[in-house]
Structure 1
Amino acid sequence: MGHDNPEPFPSSALDALAEAGHRTVFEHGDRTVTGTEMLDLTARIANGLRGMTIGPGVGIALMLGVNAEALATILAAHVVGARVLGIRPGLPDDQVQHLLSLDNAAVITDAQVEGLTTNPAGSLRPQGKPDDVARLIHTSGSTGMPKAVAQTYAAMTAEWAADPARWPAVIRELAPRLGRHLVFGTLASQVMFQYALLAIGAGGTVVVADPPTMPEAITRLRATSLVSTVPRLAALVAAKRAGADLSTLQGIVVAGSPLSEARHREALDVLGPIVFHGYGQTEAGLIAMTFPTDPPGDVGRAPDDVTVEIRDPDGAAVPDGTEGELFVRTPGQSREYWGDPVRSAEVFTGGWVRTRDLGHRDAEGRLHLTGRARDVVIVNAVVHYAGPIERAITGHPDVAEAYVVGVPDDETGEAVHAFIVPLGDAVPDLAEVRALVIDQLGAGCAPKRMTVIDKPPIAPSGKPDKRLLSSDN
């Protein structure tokens, strides 16, 4: 949602709150907060942070719930120009301690925020400096300790456009559907925070699902939109089939992990044309998104202000239709992994972000993802990417999702173990599934073991966690 803004972030968000005035922008239970009241909360908390000597370039960690004060605190921390690290709930203690060790001058909890709101309102003029790090967004930590992705104020400012005319076409299609946008879990989530602010900017209200029981919260709160992981989308489809009233839903942004063609088609068939399949990364932000009317099978086109280059293993760009690794440039891309120059050099290279995703672009400019560059199974010393095997398996009409991991094997070194989630009440014929993989990819990719599961294990981020599947072998 890029643009050139003379005032640093969160100026665009503050402008949206000012424009809202006495309109309700945040609803939590019986409590409603107007745009004017949210600005006042932000100004009070910003003044309190200044009293704690929190200012430009100073690190601050936020461990907050999902409430109006949490949103105001995030905005206030950016107003004073701090480096903001929001810590999601549910992380193991060692990961939390790792994140807290990243040069934070203060840790702010809900109890402390209550005290900050008693301050008189201070200035709301943003103090962030363009080259300073605005926030550290931590990865899920599914492969070890979470990495802290550093995004500058210049990048955040470029990413957030107040003028709807400058939004990508797919965001303009989504925005009117955000009238009562559901939030839950944590506002420290990059996408949860992003779409909450988008909803306010589009004239909607952010509504807290408390408790976040789905689909009951959607029905009770008359929600029109929400951000969803793939497992949550599957649960909503099952609930609708069972008779749940989801009639108010107008937009579901599916993000966080690939959505199989079968699962995407099922969701459109059952829920209607309300599914936006977003593709992005913590390091880069939004890369592409599908419209609800797009046929399943890809992740849509990149917006005009996003550049995607597909490269071969030698780093050379390849033509459309040829598979390779995706490198991207986005307005809001991050600069580095905080305090980790080795990993930073691997991913942030020459102004590009190396996604480590494999795929191709078709003649219509649509991006097709086929797997992860490092997600491999080595069979008889031959490297096989897990993504194409998973895609082949989900090509079976009775399969909704597939997760492939490598397991030790005495004969071949490693072998393919496929975990399969059936589509609806179907019972996949595993022999047919194996034959389908052999037909498309060859015998080396054939699953030696297949396990049917109801759903994949879920990481604290809400994404499927293949690492946990691997640990069961």
Structure 2
Amino acid sequence: MNQPEASPFPQPLVDAFRRQPDVPAFEHRGRAVPRGEILELTARCVRGLRNEGVGPGSSVAVATGVTPEAFALHIAVHLLGARLTGLRPGLPPRHLARTLADGVDILLRDEPSDTGELRAAATSVRQLALEYDLLRPLSAAAPDDLVARGRPDDLALITLTSGSTGQPKGCAHTYRSLTHSWSWQPARRTARTAALADAYARFLLFGTLSSAVIFEHLGLCLLGGGTAVIPDPPPSFPEVFARHRVTACLLTVPRLHHILNSLRTSPTDTTSLRALLVAGSPLAPHRLTEATERLGPVVHQGYGQTETGMLTLLTPGDLARWPKTAPATVGRPLDGVEISVRDPADGTPLPDGTAGEIWVRTDGALAGYWQDEAETRAVLRDGWVRTRDLGHLDENGLLRLTGRTREVIIINAVLHYAGAIETALAGHPDVDQAYVVGAPDEQTGEAAHAFVVPTTTTRPDLAALRTHVAAELGEASVPAAITVIRDVPIATSGKPDKQALLASLGKRNTEDA
């Protein structure tokens, strides 16, 4: 899968901005910020950082809000060839302290992120303020201010995972992998990704720049000539689409659920949308169908990981071509992505159509986990990445996910996958969303506990749900208890918070099976 060396990251962005200096890169608080202004901000950050000794081999942590200045800072760090670790909002103090003590030289922050917790956690590193230390001092421009210096095999970016099971892991990407990224390298665009980029004329940018998926799709927007629209936080959905004439948006599944629930009772103008991409967790087929009916042929579903970037894409064209089977899938692999379905136990390839663990190979994959050799060896195998997701490729080359290898519940010494039970429950007409967690059980070792959000205000018949699961998966897969909830709790990552559901066991009224 070796590709010829392309223009090193992030040089393609700089070159694209130079060609169109007057085109808005961002729209922030109602003001259009042209590409030329972003280049000037970036050059000033480069000079300030260089004066502080930042260059290839340096390690900086960045804690910023979502602003044009923050984006310029990120690009400046990469132009200098340093290693950037993004600190997302809400990172617990102990995780902050551990991350900053783990080989970080300098902490770069802005006013919105300048909290007491951040300062307390950063006592062991040098701190610089974006507004005062980098942008305010003026120094003479140099010809190489905007020239990429990253060495291909140096680490460029460390993105922290959610940390839901402990200290977040740091997914480490090299300058080589970012150079070959499908979203940051225009030379690698295909017809499918070019069509997606065309829809990103006004991309809604919110959340955090430390998110790998947000940064990936921001690159798609900016290198495609689009404008990233930054709304006042927090954005109000779905009204924000009409207010800012948004053409493209990246959403988690819970946020899409909120939008659809709102549209049922309060119609809102969403006609500006050309691409609504849902990612982060599987979307139930009936919800995908409803989203398409309410919003039109604009709904896409993406599948990927922080470790790999986006791997597959389900487009409106796929849904039109295979209306019966496509809604249950996450689409076809992107060009340049190889998928192999393997036996979860020994990693041997399985026959076509057989379900197993998804292994992927892509030039944009991580080099490893920062200072975690054991986890790196477990996930990286001979150029392949073990996703730890389960699924299979259908006869049309569409990937269908069925669960995660780590979401295993061992009941009476038999393995049961939470994802399969969730899919079965969500297939019942009275269930809008379903989530399954495992908990210790004195009689069976572990037991499956299900949480369901009903499609209406009427409480589902729990006996009917159990019968439905038994018919789909067998009696042994029927949850020990089913709890009806109004909404699923959301983690800071924007995904359903299964840890919170697990913690709620015993606090809710459940019915024993």
TM-score interval for Structure 1 and Structure 2 normalised by the shorter chain: over 0.9
Partner of 1:307: 338
1:117 and 2:149 aligned: no
**What is the CA–CA distance in structure 2 between the aligned matches of 1:212 and 1:194, rounded to whole Å?**
21
Partner of 2:503: 471
Cα deviations by residue, 1:303-360 (Å, 9 ceiling, x for unpaired): 2200111111221101221011011011210011100111111011211111000001
Partner of 1:290: 314
Cα deviations by residue, 1:244-299 (Å, 9 ceiling, x for unpaired): 22222221111111112122122112222111100001111111010023231101
Contact 1:24 1:205 (C-alpha < 8 Å) held by counterparts = yes
Partner of 1:142: 164
Amino acid at match of 1:314: D
Partner of 2:28: 28
Partner of 1:50: 50
1:132 and 2:154 aligned: yes
1:239 and 2:247 aligned: no
Partner residue of 1:186 out of 208, 224, 238: 208
Cα deviations by residue, 1:343-402 (Å, 9 ceiling, x for unpaired): 111011211111000001111111110000010111111111111111111111222221
**What is the CA–CA distance in structure 1 between the aligned matches of 2:185 and 2:387, rounded to whole Å?**
29
Amino acid at match of 2:257: A
Secondary structure at the aligned position of 1:447 is classed as coil
- What is the aligned length? 472
Partner residue of 1:254 out of 262, 275, 278: 278
Amino acid at match of 1:472: S
Partner of 1:265: 289
* Aligned pairs (5 A) from 1:27-426: 27-111=27-111, 112-115=129-132, 116-118=134-136, 119-120=138-139, 121-122=141-142, 123-160=145-182, 166-215=188-237, 216-241=239-264, 242-293=266-317, 294=319, 295-312=326-343, 313-423=345-455, 425=457
**What is the CA–CA distance in structure 2 between the aligned matches of 1:426 and 1:275, rounded to whole Å?**
28
Cα–Cα, structure 1 residues 467 and 170, in superposed 2: closer, same or farther, change >3 Å? farther
Amino acid at match of 2:406: R
Contact 2:25 2:228 (C-alpha < 8 Å) held by counterparts = yes
Amino acid at match of 1:189: S
Secondary structure at the aligned position of 2:234 is classed as coil
Secondary structure at the aligned position of 1:247 is classed as coil
Cα–Cα, structure 1 residues 3 and 173, in superposed 2: closer, same or farther, change >3 Å? farther
- Indicate the RMSD between aligned Cα atoms, in angstroms: 1.7
Secondary structure at the aligned position of 1:213 is classed as coil
TM-score, length basis structure 1: 0.96
Structure 1 spans left out of the alignment, 5+ residues: none
Cα deviations by residue, 1:53-110 (Å, 9 ceiling, x for unpaired): 1110211000001100011001000000010111111222222222222211100011
Contact 1:65 1:186 (C-alpha < 8 Å) held by counterparts = yes
Amino acid at match of 1:265: T
**What is the CA–CA distance in structure 2 between the aligned matches of 1:400 and 1:71, rounded to whole Å?**
38
- Superposition deviation, residue 169 in structure 1: 3.5
Cα deviations by residue, 1:152-190 (Å, 9 ceiling, x for unpaired): 000000115667573244322221211111111211111
Contact 1:262 1:399 (C-alpha < 8 Å) held by counterparts = no
Cα–Cα, structure 1 residues 165 and 53, in superposed 2: closer, same or farther, change >3 Å? closer
Identity of aligned residues (%): 46
Partner of 2:469: 437
**What is the CA–CA distance in structure 2 between the aligned matches of 1:4 and 1:379, rounded to whole Å?**
50
- Superposition deviation, residue 423 in structure 1: 2.7
**What is the CA–CA distance in structure 1 between the aligned matches of 2:218 and 2:478, rounded to whole Å?**
43
Partner of 2:322: none
1:453 and 2:485 aligned: yes
Amino acid at match of 1:113: L
Cα–Cα, structure 1 residues 341 and 126, in superposed 2: closer, same or farther, change >3 Å? same
**Segment of structure 1 superposing worse, 268-277 or 47-56:** 268-277
**What is the CA–CA distance in structure 2 between the aligned matches of 1:197 and 1:19, rounded to whole Å?**
16
**Segment of structure 1 superposing worse, 15-24 or 343-352:** 15-24
**What is the CA–CA distance in structure 1 between the aligned matches of 2:16 and 2:253, rounded to whole Å?**
30
1:18 and 2:18 aligned: yes
Amino acid at match of 1:380: N
**Segment of structure 1 superposing worse, 191-200 or 41-50:** 191-200
**What is the CA–CA distance in structure 2 between the aligned matches of 1:254 and 1:461, rounded to whole Å?**
14
Cα–Cα, structure 1 residues 466 and 169, in superposed 2: closer, same or farther, change >3 Å? farther
Contact 2:302 2:314 (C-alpha < 8 Å) held by counterparts = yes
Secondary structure at the aligned position of 2:480 is classed as strand
Contact 2:12 2:186 (C-alpha < 8 Å) held by counterparts = no
Secondary structure at the aligned position of 1:240 is classed as helix
Amino acid at match of 2:287: R
- Superposition deviation, residue 131 in structure 1: 0.6
**What is the CA–CA distance in structure 2 between the aligned matches of 1:299 and 1:449, rounded to whole Å?**
29
**What is the CA–CA distance in structure 1 between the aligned matches of 2:18 and 2:458, rounded to whole Å?**
52
Structure 2 spans left out of the alignment, 5+ residues: 112-128, 320-325, 506-513
**Segment of structure 1 superposing worse, 366-375 or 200-209:** 200-209
Contact 1:199 1:205 (C-alpha < 8 Å) held by counterparts = yes
Secondary structure at the aligned position of 1:76 is classed as helix
Cα–Cα, structure 1 residues 377 and 49, in superposed 2: closer, same or farther, change >3 Å? same
Cα deviations by residue, 1:411-443 (Å, 9 ceiling, x for unpaired): 222221101122355643222111111111111
Secondary structure at the aligned position of 2:180 is classed as helix
Secondary structure at the aligned position of 1:309 is classed as strand
- Superposition deviation, residue 4 in structure 1: 4.1
Cα–Cα, structure 1 residues 394 and 161, in superposed 2: closer, same or farther, change >3 Å? closer
